[in-house]
């Protein structure tokens, strides 16, 4: 019996050691990838973000003896925790093709804008269908996206009643958008302004919904 217990203990220890070795190896591989890609971060920021996200989600930093992702980054001098947080936010909220099409700074600006809007819009939806300064969001300069997010944060409701009204407005906007999409109409934007619900459609979307041939 004692021999059996000893064998089981050795097996558990060996299994834990193998798992730790695997985690350390994966952490080292991702560290090398990040270092390689940093030199060409303009084109590779998304891959770096995916690597950082994996390190954080799976807590691979622990396999290297670090208490957190931030501690790992600082010890290895890879990048600042703030920059890493931005890249992780991008890969968690914006699909690769969209992020690469607008660029790193704009992609994160859209993440911040989505967080600031009262409507339940995602960064991906804003890039695809949103507007900034009256024009297509995807073509807006980064400074304009940041300015709109800043203005929305400043105008955010402060009192419980204001927050409740904003929540109701967001639910109405989301519902109207869903109704339109169910009818085959994709709006550029839906907003609730005082006692009105305003829907913005592109000319092409309206013509398609109405069956108007513009050729």
The model's pLDDT over 192-214, given as tens digits with 9 standing for 90+, comes to 777 888 887 777 777 777 778 76
Residue 147 confidence (pLDDT): 95
Q: What is the pTM assigned to this prediction?
A: 0.62
Residue 36 confidence (pLDDT): 77
Residues 57 and 118 in one domain: no
Residue 70 confidence (pLDDT): 95
Residues 166 and 151 in one domain: no
Mean pLDDT of 1-25: 77
Asked whether residue 169 is assigned to any structural domain, the reply reads yes
Residues 173 and 214 in one domain: yes
- Chain mean pLDDT for the chain: 85
Asked whether residue 9 is assigned to any structural domain, the reply reads no
| CA gap 117, 125 in Å, rounded | 12
Asked whether residue 98 is assigned to any structural domain, the reply reads no
Asked whether residue 1 is assigned to any structural domain, the reply reads no
Residues 59 and 78 in one domain: yes
What is the number of domains present in the chain?
A: 3
Closest to 91 (Cα-Cα) out of 141, 49, 145? 49
Asked whether residue 53 is assigned to any structural domain, the reply reads yes
Residue 187 confidence (pLDDT): 78
Residues 32 and 88 in one domain: yes
Are 60 and 23 spatial neighbours (Cβ–Cβ below 8 Å)? yes
Residue 2 has pLDDT above 60, yes or no: no
Q: How confident is the model at residue 39 (pLDDT cuts 50, 70, 90)?
A: low
Asked whether residue 6 is assigned to any structural domain, the reply reads no
pLDDT over 90 for what percent of the chain?
44
Residues 80 and 116 in one domain: no
Residues 143 and 168 in one domain: no
Residue 113 confidence (pLDDT): 94
Asked whether residue 8 is assigned to any structural domain, the reply reads no
Residues 147 and 164 in one domain: no
| CA gap 172, 168 in Å, rounded | 6
Residue 154 confidence (pLDDT): 85
Residues 80 and 24 in one domain: yes
Residues 203 and 213 in one domain: yes
pLDDT over 70 for what percent of the chain?
92
Residue 41 confidence (pLDDT): 64
Residue 43 has pLDDT above 80, yes or no: no
> Higher confidence at residue 22 or residue 156?
22
End position of a domain, from candidates 156, 182, 199:
156
The model's pLDDT over 113-169, given as tens digits with 9 standing for 90+, comes to 999 987 777 999 999 999 998 899 999 999 999 999 999 888 877 677 777 777 787
Residue 215 has pLDDT above 70, yes or no: no
End position of a domain, from candidates 118, 139, 156:
156
Bridge partner residues of 193 (DSSP): 196
Asked whether residue 3 is assigned to any structural domain, the reply reads no
Mean pLDDT of 61-82: 93
Domain range enclosing 190:
157-215
Mean pLDDT of 32-60: 86
């Amino acid at each position: 019996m004692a021999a059996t217990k000893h064998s089981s203990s050795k097996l558990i220890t060996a299994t834990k050691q193998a798992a730790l070795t695997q985690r350390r190896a994966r952490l080292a591989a991702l560290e090398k990838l990040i270092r390689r890609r940093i030199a060409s971060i303009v084109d590779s920021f998304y891959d770096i973000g995916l690597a950082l996200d994996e390190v954080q989600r799976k807590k691979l930093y622990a396999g290297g003896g670090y208490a957190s992702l931030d501690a790992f980054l600082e010890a290895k001098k890879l990048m600042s925790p703030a920059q890493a947080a931005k890249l992780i936010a991008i890969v968690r909220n914006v699909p690769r093709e969209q992020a690469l099409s607008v660029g790193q700074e704009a992609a994160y600006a859209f993440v911040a804008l989505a967080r600031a809007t009262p409507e339940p819009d995602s960064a991906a939806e804003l890039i695809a269908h949103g507007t900034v300064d009256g024009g297509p969001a995807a073509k807006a300069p980064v400074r304009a996206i940041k300015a709109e997010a800043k203005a929305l944060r400043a105008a955010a409701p402060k009192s419980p009643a204001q927050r409740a009204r904003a929540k109701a407005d967001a639910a109405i906007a989301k519902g109207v958008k869903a109704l339109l999409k169910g009818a085959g109409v994709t709006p550029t934007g839906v907003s609730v302004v005082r006692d009105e619900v305003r829907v913005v459609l592109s000319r092409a979307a309206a013509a398609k919904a109405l069956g108007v041939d513009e050729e």
